[in-house]
Amino acid sequence: MKVYTGIRSETGIAHVEVEEPNKAIRLLAPRTDLFKHCNTGLDWGYSGSAPKQCAMAILADALDDDLRAVRIHGGFHFYIVAALPRHLPWHLTEEQVIAIVEDREPTAAVG
């Protein structure tokens, strides 16, 4: 089970780490190859280009389906990533991401 953790450095730069059993913790790739909302990295806690890129990155990694991630990342950004606590660490499991998508997918492309 993957666990996505959003953290900020002391300088305020946002990072999303991915933990997987029996693997080293890695930084989440922004996946600008799929859809490029920004060049400044990933972020969360507001509605903007960096949180939208974060939604794309989380979905592409968790779903392992790039086309599906592209199709639904706007809604996931609006309902989930923009609502994450801006200045506090947060965690989402792969299972939570998949459950959110399956629950919202008919309307997830809105946004």
Which domain range does residue 35 map to? Answer: 3-108
Distance (Å, rounded) from C-alpha 97 to C-alpha 9? 24
The distance in angstroms from the start CA to the end CA of the chain is 28
Residue-level pLDDT at 106: 62
H-helix segments, 1-111? 49-63, 66-79, 94-108
Number of Cβ within 10 Å of residue 72's Cβ equals: 25
> Does the pLDDT value for residue 50 go beyond 50?
yes
Residue-level pLDDT at 107: 53
Q: How many independent structural domains does the chain possess? A: 1
pLDDT tens digits for range 71-105: 999 999 999 999 999 999 999 999 999 999 998 77
Residue-level pLDDT at 111: 44
pLDDT tens digits for range 6-26: 999 999 899 999 999 999 999
Residue-level pLDDT at 108: 47
Name the residue with higher pLDDT: 76 or 109. 76
Under the phi-then-psi rule, with left for phi > 0, alpha for psi from -120 to 50, and beta for the rest, what region is 64? Answer: left
Query: Torsion angle, CA of 86/40/16/13, rounded to 10 degrees?
Result: -60
pLDDT above 90 covers what percent of the chain? 86
56: closest CA among 68, 39, 40? 68
